[in-house]
Amino acid sequence: MKTTRALTTMLAAICGVMTIEPTLADSYEFAVGEAIPLYVNDAQASYVSVNDGFTVSSSDKLDGQQKNTATATLSLTNPTAGDYLLSISGAHNNANMNLSVAVSGVGGYSKTASTIMPSPGSWSTFRDNLFLFDNLPAGELTLVLTVTGNGGGWKGHYKDFTFKALDGNAFNLLTQDSEPFTTAEGTAYVSTSGNSEIKRGSNSIGSTKSGAKMSFVLYCLEDTKLVFSYSASMKDASATVSWKLNGENCNQSASDTLEYSADWDTYNEYEHDFGILKAGVYILTGTTSRSGGGWSGNYKDFTFDIVSVVDITGDYTLADGVETIVNSVADGVMIDLHGNDLEISSACTFEGKAIFTNSVDATLANLTISGGNNKNLTFGGNLRYVVTGAGGPSAYFRDSNDVIDGEVAPNTHTGGTVFRDLTSDVRVYSFATNCGPGTLVFAGNASVTIPSQYTLPGFESVENAIFVSNANNRLAFDRSGGTFTLSGALNGDSDAALTISIGHNPNVALTGELSAYEGTLGIKHSTDNGYYAMITKPDESTGMPNGTIMMCSTAANNKLQFTKAETYELGALVTEGVVATNAYVYGKSLLKVGAKAGGTFAGNFRDLDSTALSIEKVGADTTWTLTGTNHNFSGTFTVTGGTVVFANEIATAYGSGVTVKSGAYIAGTGVVSSPVTLEDGAKVKLTGTLDAEQTYSLITVASGVAVSGKAEVETDGTYTSGTWRTKWVTNQDGSKTLTGYFAKKGLIITFH
């Protein structure tokens, strides 16, 4: 058993159908004031009334009648104050019953506990129903049992009212048998159920037959999150374990189909998260089954991972190994994580403006809030704030309407802010105010927007470093006019993908270091606004040599500028869903593209500020396909490594001319309006299949092809039949600048 909270949460385990032997019942002094006493094990209690549906039978039990509600009231004297577990045995033939027990008395004590009693299926088969009463005072008490269910039908039989004192340990064991087996920590007990068989070992329940039952009793003094796990082995055939958890307004079911192997020594682990359980008592019963009967598994390593659910009403410091769920937080309290991680579920409520911090500078604490319950919260200290879940767009961060003492209190946590697995867009009104100075992490399935309204001071600048992991991340700028600046470094692995989305009419400038980023950076304009995404690299930076820039907008005027008159290295430059006339890349120096990957670029290149832009294709093993038809740049286009495929169907100039270096390729069927120079060792790839007529396609060059040294033309097709013939390769104007022959080996044309 692993306990993850140093609060008093009580957990017990018992196996088999339980009859509790009371430890303190003999010392109770029950008042006897009626002619027919009600026996409570070895003592007696007088019933004050059995109105509305109960009678007391001669067999020492309460018999529920055909009523909508059955109520019985008992009086008793408790000799010793403490925490007690009340057990009431009940039976019903065919319906679930809702049982409620209210105890009141000395010092204004009043508490009600309830449970759902599943039908045992027989009027004579009794099952135990358990109720927890913590801090039960000594003295005169009144107990009221109320039963509903089954409409106006029979309400069941009830007997063996037993109070058992709890000793205050982290867990207690309610025992029937004398033969223990060992759970993760402590000892639990088992007994047979019906005709099924359970053989006990030193640390496992072994040799179960179909129909065997394993029961565990849990009692919690406060709201608790329960995760139950165990290991099981099964040989040669599959078996099933059906679990039922019943207790305080709880009736849950779960089942496992056991994996099987060729031996009994191979164990697999199974786990069930039963969520948050209210304070009270619960019985967890597992029933085995196997088609045709027979052996149905060995079981061990029963673990109850319990996590306290805390109501925080004052300043609070989390202890080591603390809970991972908070139930409710009062207004104005400060919660110090003290180096521990904390998870807050969507069920949590914040009554006001709480403050979360971490005072341990040497240990980063993670605060995870799902469901967007945190708009009124403030974060500080060495804390990482994780935003996840299904909150609405405005649920996570304060905006200009959320004023505290005349201002919107800034978050100052230094551990960063993580966005992951969000089911809706999240609005950040100023990264400086909302997210503190730490790294912004986009961890997959995360969409974040700076909106057009309710922004806070500093919204125009994102100075935080950004780290990206996984795909489907989006950072959107939705304000009209002005320029947003991202000045922090961008980092991320090769699987990372972040899209910068530009809405309305802003410019977005990336001025931080990009050289360590290995993922894909998308640039998307959501409207035909004509505004820019601008990349201004820091001095001495190389650009983004390990990453990919993807222009991915279907809108017109999808524009990207490289603003410095310096060389920029891009691992890849591609487009997705872009119309060829809508995407434009501007620059005033040299773009070196393709060291990481190839791809298709449907955009167009333009000079910036009347300063020449040049393009160089690098990367020996990458192929870059160009389909843009509206280039207008005045610098050079050089193919140094790999392959450039010209696929533009409409003639366009590639700067002042295309130069192909030794070992590099050009290919495609596009129309190049500028001159092409093939240097010594340059290669041209033919497109198509060489058939009997030896047909093929080649780039059309309007201004002629100049060959310096020895260049080659290769084909990616296969010659099928016919006779080898000399071929002329003509220019667009019909002149014959290239001549050659087909060599039978390799299908290479060599030009001299």
pLDDT digits (tens, 9 = 90+) for 165-224: 665 432 333 333 333 444 433 444 444 444 455 555 555 677 778 887 777 767 666 666
Q: Is position 676 within any domain?
A: yes
The reply to whether 160 and 52 lie within a common domain is yes
The reply to whether 45 and 154 lie within a common domain is yes
- Tell me the two tokens of residue 89: 């045995």
Calculate the alpha carbon distances from 284 to 17, 337, 568, 706 in Å: 11, 33, 64, 85
Number of domains present in the structure of the chain: 3
CB 682 within 8 A of CB 664: yes
Strands of the 466-468 sheet, one edge to the other: 342-344, 365-370, 383-389, 417-422, 440-442, 466-468, 490-492
In this prediction, residue 381 carries a pLDDT of 93
pLDDT digits (tens, 9 = 90+) for 265-279: 899 999 988 876 776
The reply to whether 58 and 82 lie within a common domain is yes
In this prediction, residue 240 carries a pLDDT of 94
The reply to whether 289 and 234 lie within a common domain is yes
- The full 3-state SS of 317-353, as one line of letters, equals ECCCCCCCEEEEECCCCEEECCCCCEEECCCCEECCC
**CA–CA separation, 106 vs 65, rounded Å?**
32
Q: Is position 254 within any domain?
A: yes
In degrees and rounded to multiples of 5, residue 448 shows phi and psi of -130, 135
Q: Is position 463 within any domain?
A: no
- Tell me the two tokens of residue 136: 């039960």
Strand-pair category, 446-450 with 473-477:
parallel
The letter for the amino acid at 617 is: K
- Geometric angle at alpha carbon 723, from 719 and 728, rounded to 5°: 85
The letter for the amino acid at 537 is: K
Strand-pair category, 199-200 with 342-344:
unpaired
The reply to whether 187 and 81 lie within a common domain is no
Domain of 45, in residue numbers: 21-170
- Tell me the two tokens of residue 340: 């521990």
- State the DSSP H helix or E strand holding residue 434, giving kind and residue range, or none if neither: helix 431-434
**CA–CA separation, 573 vs 587, rounded Å?**
14
User: Which of 319, 335, 364 has the alpha carbon at shortest distance from 5?
Assistant: 319
**Local structure of residue 537 (DSSP, 8 states):** P
Q: Is position 26 within any domain?
A: yes
Q: Is position 711 within any domain?
A: yes
**CA–CA separation, 368 vs 374, rounded Å?**
10
Residue 26: pLDDT above 70?
Answer: no
**CA–CA separation, 737 vs 751, rounded Å?**
10
Q: Which residue has the tokens 């843009």?
A: 628
The reply to whether 131 and 213 lie within a common domain is no
The reply to whether 711 and 737 lie within a common domain is yes
- 278: domain CATH number? 2.60.120.260
In this prediction, residue 518 carries a pLDDT of 96
**CA–CA separation, 648 vs 213, rounded Å?**
73
pLDDT digits (tens, 9 = 90+) for 278-313: 767 777 888 889 988 888 888 887 777 665 566 676
Q: Is position 544 within any domain?
A: no
- Residues 727-751, mean pLDDT to the nearest whole number: 38
